[in-house]
Amino acid sequence: MPGGPNGPGTDQLGWENGYWYNDSIAVNQSDGLNESELTAFVARTMARVERIRGEEFEQTVPVEVITRAEYRNRSGNRDTTVDSPRERAREQLWEAPLLIGEDRTVGAAFGGLYGGSVLGFYSPSQDRIVIISESETPRIDRVTLAHELVHALQDQRFSLLPGGDSHDEGLARTGVAEGDASYVEQRYEERCGENWSCVERPERTAGAGLADRNLGAYVAIYIPYSDGPSFVHQIRQRGGWDAVNDLYEQPPTSTEQLLHPDSYPDDSPQMVQIPDRSAAGWERYGVRERVGESTLYAMFWFQRGLNRSTLGQETEPYSRYNYVSEVTDCWAGDRLVPYRNGDGNGYVWRLRWESRADARQFASAYQTMLVERLNATEVRAGVYRVPEGPFADAFRVSRDGRTVTIVNAPSVRALSNVHPSPD
């Protein structure tokens, strides 16, 4: 039976496999990690994660180190087909906010993002951590190791959250798991130097080349890592780690709540309905989605519909980016419904805002973006045609009080068959 500092079968918070959280360890990564160094590094990091997070590991977590080339080889067969209704609807989910156009599939876009940016991951099914080393000899970033160990701790102590009922809710739930891990990671790093001796971090090159990838999609999926830590921090300030633990039972329901923690848990997204009025062979398919406030911000950021520098303006403790803008921060709910007619695709996207003025501001900003960024021509009032490029389509934008409706189709004529004009 494994023994702790107080004898066989015992364990203490901040002690793991023979190492206290404040112990010094003989680890030198300049020539890579040998087996004994890896064992000591993992054990002390587990102890430090326990010390910060206030939760005990139930068992040791295996850690494997692979090269980035090996990771790319393992994940290189990412599915880029668009065969099923669900896959086809996913394409519309990312095309509607003008992030991934018709020149590439969603799978291909994210394959490019993940291949060069993933630093490590925890596999719940295999109960192990994989760390990607940028060198042929195994080296580990202490921050990445701490982050992934938090995910293992979550799996051991709490119920891992399912994806949710929409894109927006999925990002919000991911914001709990990734926010918790990133918050602990940052608090770990704050202790290095003055309070703790820490293993030197290897040179990081994983982010190189991001300019060649889809930065709009990157901004959209980064919200759990950016604002999740700040959200967790503010929940912890309200009620300590117990309140954070409760998030696994009552997670936020929207990215609005991640961005504006004061809205959690009472301010839920409003329900938005879209009656099916399609004709001439057009039909609904796939799933109805909620896009959410953070992805709306990513849309305007990517298409330069707002000042891009605002993303880098940190506004809250432990928040890496600022996803708040006056165009999107009064979002109250939305619904996206994909349509098809043979090989033709379209969608109806209805957005609810807090006030008429907010709806008017969004509609104006969206229409300006179509014209100035996508070179759209206004065919008639509220109807636009983008002549070329990955988002070449027809768009109709209408407003009714606090609600804005965007209809998309391959041609201006098809707009009324996807969803007739309210006039």
Of 289, 183, 167, 308, nearest to 236 (Cα)? 183
Does residue 53 belong to any structural domain of this protein? no
pLDDT tens digits for range 287-300: 899 999 999 999 99
pLDDT reading at 26 higher than 70: yes
Is residue 292 one of the residues assigned to a domain? yes
Output the pLDDT for position 309.
81
The verdict on residue 312 lying in a domain is yes
Per-residue pLDDT at 102 exceeds 90: yes
The residue with greater pLDDT, 313 or 311, is 311
% residues pLDDT > 70 (the chain): 93
Give the pLDDT confidence score for residue 209 in this predicted structure: 44
pLDDT band at 314 (very low <50, low <70, confident <90, very high): low
- Residue 323 included in any domain: yes
pLDDT for res 77: 56
Q: What is the mean pLDDT of the chain?
A: 92
Is residue 64 pLDDT above 60, yes or no? yes
Counting residues of the chain whose pLDDT is more than 90, the rounded percentage is 78
Residue 131 lies in a domain: no
- Structural domain includes residue 248: no
Q: Residue 11: which pLDDT band, with cuts at 50, 70 and 90?
A: confident
Question: What pLDDT does residue 8 have?
Answer: 45
Q: What is the pLDDT of residues 376-419, one digit of tens each?
A: 999 999 999 999 999 999 999 999 999 999 999 999 999 999 99
Reported as a single tens digit per residue, the pLDDT across 196-218 is 999 999 876 544 444 446 899 99
**Average pLDDT for residues 330-345, to the nearest whole number?**
97
Give the model's pLDDT for residue 79.
58
Mean pLDDT of 110-120: 81
Domain range for 398 is 283-418
- The lowest-confidence range among 2-11, 100-109, 222-231, 308-317 is 2-11
How far apart (Å, rounded) are the C-alpha atoms in residues 275 and 116?
42
Cα distances from 410 to residues 99, 100, 138, 214, in angstroms, run 17, 16, 51, 23
pLDDT band at 336 (very low <50, low <70, confident <90, very high): very high
Residue 9: pLDDT over 80: no
Q: Is residue 224 part of a domain?
A: no
Q: Scan for tokens 């929940």, then name that residue.
A: 235
Instruction: Report if residue 28 sits inside a domain.
Output: no
Residue pLDDT, tens place only, 247-282: 999 999 999 999 999 999 999 999 999 999 999 999
Per the structure, the count of domains in the chain is 1
